[in-house]
Structure 1
């Protein structure tokens, strides 16, 4: 029996009983009226009729009550198993197996922080919901302690697009080199570090290797996951030489690592007994959220979303490894699709030939065009253009010839979660100060830019979705927010300030250059560390100009 039907029937029985009771009360009114002194007494025939009605009502009430009682006790909990939700947290707790007996102040401090931040935990659990069942399954397959499924909370708060100052990416925060060691491809189309399916397997394999290296000491292995095994080994050797204990709590490790392991242990305690800390954990159903579907070839992600009958952004959230508008042409050919939509997706996919899963355009090469320009225009990689057009290692192309180019089925702005659109969104966030667009010149570094604009290097990187060690490319656009007056900005907050390099000509002076580019002499002096008050022909100077205020006769 369906639970809803049971509730409906119970409701109807309650309604019947209520009606009966009301009727009895009405009938009772008939009998009580006879006791009023101003009413004539009932005849024997009327009294007999009232008694008969009361008896029928009593019998009806008893029958209804018995039916309700029979219905209630006939409920079989197994009938409603399909509608019940099995919470995943007890299963997570059952697999806890990392020794945790200390009350080190670092651990207690982290525990108190989590206990004070219920809303943060709610957000984390919500982000973890699509992936926790899969991560837990993978950990159990390897017979690993289930504390490890909490590690992405410490690493990234289960944010699929997380990118750190140290160039670490994804929920497991792999740096490029370690990702490659563990088989995570990284190219223009795809970054396996953000592939939850592949990176989870890589991370658990890495943790297995570290645990083996540190002879089963999980705290050492976890510390090594954060700071590198070499860092932990050196700290252990130093303590041995000095006759000090070599357990995690006594090692001299980087500040971040000293907090890293306590954070995981604090989460373990909190999730093990949330009520002890005044915390509630939102239920996560212990069933698969997605299915990994083999798509066999490159596929436009907008087309894939239509086939699965889901929103394109939801598809990207489950498949954050794809940098652009399609899956990678040379694999992996896999998409994670919500379980409820997987069969629909597979059925629709089977009806479309591989050659039609990407749209194609025949482009006629114009004078002056390069492969790089064409690739940028169509949002494809140069290597893809070379392979598709059998160019080998050649980069030179001839005007008048044609290239076959894969193109997106929708306009590129519809793909909101591509790497380009995510960066654009980040750069458009309003911050304090004046917004400057800096065009990267050859030789620029974050440190140079921080001095020029009087802001922190890490801030510039963060505003542009980069890590401080990421290389800067000539011509790249950076958004910089500075309180220092660089020059007058255009009206209505338009983003029109650009850096240019100017070579001093014969007869130039600071006054003439300031007039020519509509900037202040004080600004020119501040932008350039002049060693002499005289300018020399051929000397290069930096300027930050408002392109809307230039006359074009420079």
Structure 2
């Protein structure tokens, strides 16, 4: 039985196998078909490139300088000068570092050419204390009439021309105005900033009438202006292509470094400096608009403070009483006193004394008292005040002999200079003035000469002075104070082999006490 089943299975298998074979048809030959490999559809992914982070303000400036640079003789001469004097641009970059970011920000916000950021280099070498022969002052070199016209105030306490944030706004207002007045031509506007729009427009009109070209370089303008615009263009080219010309500018952080804070009322700069954890000089350098030891009584009351110190300054300011901001002195009027004499003695103004004490006119009464605002620290510590800057300038040795001259009624720079065999320009410069400035009777001027006059010789009073060296003294400083030379000091005290002075060290000097700088 089992055998039958096996035989049956084998038989079925054989039948199935024969059936499959017999039914298979012969396959016809077919053409070979080659097919491209199937790949997924290509996907293009667009990626936004990472924005380039500019860390240096100079790079930000370079990328936006786009005035065409013409191949003009004066442009080439100024370019060569800047390339040969890289130390000049290095000094300027250092001076510009606190303020350049703020200026660039304003230009971008107002959509003005970046070349205008370089004007303070041409105008003042980026020195906010600069004062020119034309009686222009500050970073942007405003004259008094133009400063007033564009909203800058000037008084005994404050000069807005030297207030960098305020003067920058005024300068850009003026440049925008000039651009509109001079046919929307920026080279005309820049020239007009130097010489006035009237001269520029008249020069354009003259050339037009003659059928001549009216581009800037074809105009007949004052010599200074003809050099002013080429200097700016050359400077722009050198800064834009600094690498090409081998110029290295000190990097300036491309971020806010200063904050302008309104303190609300008059404040002694020494007190403000203490609150900001700064020296008086550091604070005053950032706030050069203040002429004296405090902000102006009637304002402005803004202070420029480094951003890293601004929060602590504001907190400290909020914790102080307004009465702490100034020191007050109760002064008893003496016979012979005048408001002018008292104001000068205590480094304040007649107007302030009148205002504080409710005085009308100039009459004061012997024996009565006046309330006077006075500086918290010694005047010498306010080294950037107008008085101390003038004292420093007048003490700087210019020749062998210094003479003090008191201006008389009817005097002029020309008369005084002619009498003392010097030039008006030198006389004005020695005294921190411009030749156009008014001379008032009683004003003290210094005059430097290489030969002693007979009057000086007759009045000379020679003395041997023993001087005790103080901290911060140097040979040059002491020599200037006593109107002697460093070589004389060295010889009198056998200092040839000594590099440094020590506080407390005694020096012997042989001086004419009538010529000492006190």
Whole-Å separation in 1 of the counterparts to 2:418 and 2:312:
56
Report the counterpart of residue 289 of structure 1 in structure 2. 257
| C-alpha deviation, 1:404, in angstroms | 1.1
Report the counterpart of residue 411 of structure 2 in structure 1. 444
| C-alpha deviation, 1:486, in angstroms | 1.9
SS in 1 for 2:98: helix
| C-alpha deviation, 1:548, in angstroms | 6.0
For the pair 1:486 / 2:453, whether they are aligned, the reply is yes
Report the counterpart of residue 427 of structure 1 in structure 2. 394
Report the counterpart of residue 398 of structure 1 in structure 2. 365
Report the counterpart of residue 426 of structure 2 in structure 1. 459
Whole-Å separation in 1 of the counterparts to 2:220 and 2:450:
39
- Does the C-alpha gap of structure 1 residues 85 and 204 become closer, same or farther in structure 2, counting only changes over 3 Å? closer
| C-alpha deviation, 1:240, in angstroms | 2.1
- Contact 1:454–1:484 under 8 Å retained in 2: no
- Contact 1:161–1:169 under 8 Å retained in 2: yes
SS in 1 for 2:373: strand
For the pair 1:93 / 2:65, whether they are aligned, the reply is no
- Contact 1:319–1:336 under 8 Å retained in 2: yes
- Does the C-alpha gap of structure 1 residues 492 and 220 become closer, same or farther in structure 2, counting only changes over 3 Å? farther
Query: What does the per-residue CA deviation read over 1:182-205, in whole Å, with 9 as the maximum and x for residues that have no partner?
Result: 111100000000000100000001
Whole-Å separation in 2 of the counterparts to 1:315 and 1:124:
20
- Does the C-alpha gap of structure 1 residues 361 and 115 become closer, same or farther in structure 2, counting only changes over 3 Å? same
Give the TM-score normalised by structure 2: 0.78
| C-alpha deviation, 1:442, in angstroms | 1.1
Whole-Å separation in 1 of the counterparts to 2:514 and 2:330:
36
Whole-Å separation in 1 of the counterparts to 2:54 and 2:270:
32
Matches within 5 A, 1:201-280: 201-280=169-248
Query: What does the per-residue CA deviation read over 1:61-90, in whole Å, with 9 as the maximum and x for residues that have no partner?
Result: xxxxxxxxxxxxxxxxx9xx9xx9811122
Q: Please, which moves more after superposition, 125-134 or 357-366?
A: 357-366
* Number of equivalences: 415
Whole-Å separation in 1 of the counterparts to 2:390 and 2:246:
38
Gaps of at least 5 residues in structure 2 are 1-49, 465-511
Q: Please, which moves more after superposition, 427-436 or 119-128?
A: 427-436
Report the counterpart of residue 377 of structure 1 in structure 2. 345
Gaps of at least 5 residues in structure 1 are 1-77, 495-545, 550-554
Deviating beyond 4 angstroms after TM superposition, the runs of 4 or more aligned structure 1 residues are 491-494, 546-549
Whole-Å separation in 2 of the counterparts to 1:409 and 1:281:
39
| C-alpha deviation, 1:308, in angstroms | 0.2
Matches within 5 A, 1:172-191: 172-191=140-159
Query: What does the per-residue CA deviation read over 1:374-394, in whole Å, with 9 as the maximum and x for residues that have no partner?
Result: 1001111111111111113x1
Whole-Å separation in 1 of the counterparts to 2:461 and 2:157:
38
| C-alpha deviation, 1:491, in angstroms | 5.0
Query: What does the per-residue CA deviation read over 1:81-127, in whole Å, with 9 as the maximum and x for residues that have no partner?
Result: 9xx981112211232243x1411111111111001111111000000
Report the counterpart of residue 299 of structure 1 in structure 2. 267
Whole-Å separation in 1 of the counterparts to 2:270 and 2:401:
37
For the pair 1:340 / 2:308, whether they are aligned, the reply is yes
SS in 2 for 1:221: helix
| C-alpha deviation, 1:443, in angstroms | 1.2
| C-alpha deviation, 1:493, in angstroms | 9.5
SS in 1 for 2:99: helix
SS in 2 for 1:444: coil
| C-alpha deviation, 1:432, in angstroms | 1.9
Report the counterpart of residue 23 of structure 1 in structure 2. none
Report the counterpart of residue 409 of structure 1 in structure 2. 376
| C-alpha deviation, 1:277, in angstroms | 1.3
Tell me which of 310, 315, 326 is aligned to 2:294: 326
Report the counterpart of residue 167 of structure 1 in structure 2. 135
SS in 2 for 1:127: helix
Whole-Å separation in 1 of the counterparts to 2:366 and 2:116:
56
- Contact 1:184–1:198 under 8 Å retained in 2: yes
For the pair 1:137 / 2:105, whether they are aligned, the reply is yes
For the pair 1:115 / 2:70, whether they are aligned, the reply is no
Whole-Å separation in 2 of the counterparts to 1:429 and 1:87:
37
Whole-Å separation in 1 of the counterparts to 2:64 and 2:296:
36
| C-alpha deviation, 1:450, in angstroms | 1.1
Higher helix share: 1
SS in 2 for 1:130: coil
Whole-Å separation in 1 of the counterparts to 2:241 and 2:450:
48
Tell me which of 267, 272, 282 is aligned to 1:314: 282
- Contact 2:463–2:513 under 8 Å retained in 1: no
Query: What does the per-residue CA deviation read over 1:199-235, in whole Å, with 9 as the maximum and x for residues that have no partner?
Result: 0000001000000111210000000000111121222
Whole-Å separation in 2 of the counterparts to 1:319 and 1:395:
32
